[in-house]
Structure 1
Amino acid sequence: MAYARHQSFYIRDKWFSKGLTAVSQNSRFFYDDFSFEKIGLGKNMVESLKYWLIALNVIEERLVEGQRGHYLTELGQIFYENDKLLQKGESLAILHYHLVRNEDDQSTVFEWYFNHYKETVVSKPDLLNSFITWVKQNETREISEKSIKRDIDCLIQFYTKLPDENDPEDVIFSPFSKLALMKTERSGEGFDTIRKISLDITIVGILPLYYVLLTHCMRKETDLVSIDEIINGDFLWGKVFNLSRNKIIEALNVLTNHDQYPIQYVRTNNLDYIRVPQVTPIGLLRG
């Protein structure tokens, strides 16, 4: 598991497009001692940017002809070609899923908060203490509380750092604040209250929901998934997007009428299942 690799920086507006463009033009960009000058960021910010692009599953490090470099993943190529400025909510939702999925053990705090932590309203000190306790129970090595605190701070800013309405040049907001998955409220006791927000499917988008469903089935090597699992299971709709049961059923009903790849309801052993068609998550995105 990984902690505080983000250099205390949440991802800023325009970072994503700058990073994808730099890597697409030069696979050795993040090995260049002067990359920070070329991209217009501080040295620590460049390290943070590299971390975020890897954690979001849009770049990967590979050895090519004896030389290490960073290359766009299939997902990264799709974003680079279609929405590198992250103007679509669907793009943000898919990337959020990959952070929560934590495939390469890069974003532990995101996986923990959305997939394991059950409280929907909590004070910031209690949130920190809960994460400290979880880390101690699940780690075999000693993790500094300073690193854990940085992760909690970054998690909150990642989803709540909104643009300054009075400053059209504001570039320090997080693009993921548009998802509105989390809200902070100042309490009378001098600390923030953190609230998970239950989203509407129009905010998440049907495409990301389908992408998550197909990714789950591909990893499990099955074309069947129970509705109960979609609601309550790890790395699925209920947990990843804070979706209620009613919203999940609503989205599934929409997918039964999908133009290209309609899903099917199946009843087996008195349980309701969904059968997905033979299409890969990347195939779905490429349309």
Structure 2
Amino acid sequence: MAYGRHESFYLRDKWVSKGLKAISENPRFFFDKDNFEKIGLGKNMVKSLRFWLTATNLMVETGNKEHRLTKVGEIVFSVDRLLQKNETVSLLHYHLVRNHDLATVFYWYFNIYKETISQRTELKKSFITWVKNNETKSVSETSLNRDIDVLIQLYTKDANENDPEDFIFSPFTKLTLIKEEPSEEKHENIRKISPDIHKIGIISLYYVLLKYALEHDVELISLEEIINEKFLWGKVFNLSRNRIIEALNKLTNDDTYPIEYVRTNNLDYIRVPKIDPIDYLCHEYNYKFERVTNTNGI
């Protein structure tokens, strides 16, 4: 598990575009001493950007002091590197919160932490306790507190409506997964929000199902799994049962790859077509690249 790799910076708007362009032009970019001058960011911001691109599965290190774009990274770079589509941001969010090893606080908050509403101090105490119970090494509480601060900023730091030139906001806010709101105790409540389906995007939701089916080698996924299992809709996107059913109904009407409801032993299951998740993204994003046998970084 890892903590504080973000250098206390949440992901800023336009950072992904800058980073993907830099890597596509120079695989050794993040190892160059003058990289911060070339990209127009501070040294610690460049370190942060390297974390975000890796944690969201947009790039991987090859082992010889180079980085390459993943398949997801290639699609995003070619089709939506400015993250204008909610579906694209949802894909990044999904890969971030399943990255237990590199982005532990995000994995914990969405997959493990069960409280819907909490205050920042309570949230920090809960995370510190969980880390102490699950980590073999000692971790600075200051670092863990900063992880919680960055977590909240990533999903709530919105653009300044009065300043169209203000780019110090996070693209993840458009997902409306977390909200800060005042409480009677004069401390902000941190609330998990169950967003409308269109905020997440049906493409990213289907991609998540396909990934789950591929990784577990199944074609049937139960409704209860989708609601309650790690890395599925209820956990990753805070979706309620009603909104999950709404999205599944939409997928039964998919023009190309419709899912199918199956009733077995009084339980509701979804039969998922056997489609590679990356092939599905390519179809939906109208993107083509040469397939390779190595599926690392899907």
Establish whether TM, by shorter chain, passes 0.5: yes
What does 1:143-182 correspond to in 2, within 5 Å? 143-182=139-178
1:86-145 CA distance string (max 9 Å, x none): 001111111101111116x11111111111111111111001101011111111111110
Structure 1 residue 222: Cα displacement: 1.1
Q: Does 1:79 align with 2:76?
A: yes
Q: Does 1:218 align with 2:200?
A: no
Of residues 180, 183, 206 in structure 2, which corresponds to 1:184?
180
Structure 1 residue 193: Cα displacement: 1.2
Give the Cα separation in 2 of the matches to 1:52 and 1:203. Answer: 22
Structure 1 residue 269: Cα displacement: 2.3
SS of structure 2 residue aligned to 1:68: coil
1:184-232 CA distance string (max 9 Å, x none): 1233544321011111111111101100000111110111111110011
Of residues 89, 93, 107 in structure 1, which corresponds to 2:90?
93
SS of structure 1 residue aligned to 2:268: strand
Structure 1 residue 250: Cα displacement: 1.1
State the AA in 2 paired with 1:277. P
Give the Cα separation in 1 of the matches to 2:189 and 2:222. Answer: 34
Q: Does 1:56 align with 2:56?
A: yes
State the AA in 2 paired with 1:95. L
Give the Cα separation in 2 of the matches to 1:14 and 1:164. Answer: 15
Q: Does 1:194 align with 2:190?
A: yes
State the AA in 2 paired with 1:59. M
1:10-56 CA distance string (max 9 Å, x none): 01010000000000000000000000000000000000000000000
Question: Which residue does the alignment assign to 1:270?
Answer: 266
Structure 1 residue 171: Cα displacement: 1.3
Q: Does 1:23 align with 2:23?
A: yes
SS of structure 1 residue aligned to 2:190: strand
Q: Does 1:119 align with 2:127?
A: no
Question: Which residue does the alignment assign to 2:235?
Answer: 239
Give the Cα separation in 1 of the matches to 2:49 and 2:141. Answer: 23
Give the Cα separation in 1 of the matches to 2:26 and 2:219. Answer: 39
Note if contact 2:263-2:269 (Cα within 8 Å) is conserved in structure 1: yes
Note if contact 2:174-2:199 (Cα within 8 Å) is conserved in structure 1: no
Give the TM-score, by structure 2 length.
0.93
SS of structure 2 residue aligned to 1:277: coil
Give the Cα separation in 1 of the matches to 2:40 and 2:198. Answer: 35
Instruction: Give unpaired runs (5+ residues) of structure 2.
Output: 284-298
State the AA in 1 paired with 2:105. V
Give the Cα separation in 2 of the matches to 1:186 and 1:139. Answer: 33
SS of structure 1 residue aligned to 2:60: strand
Q: Does 1:281 align with 2:277?
A: yes
Give the Cα separation in 2 of the matches to 1:177 and 1:267. Answer: 37
Question: Which residue does the alignment assign to 2:3?
Answer: 3
Instruction: Give unpaired runs (5+ residues) of structure 1.
Output: none
Aligned residues: 283
Structure 1 residue 4: Cα displacement: 0.6
State the AA in 2 paired with 1:229. E
Give the Cα separation in 2 of the matches to 1:236 and 1:184. Answer: 24
Structure 1 residue 234: Cα displacement: 1.1
Question: Which residue does the alignment assign to 1:33?
Answer: 33
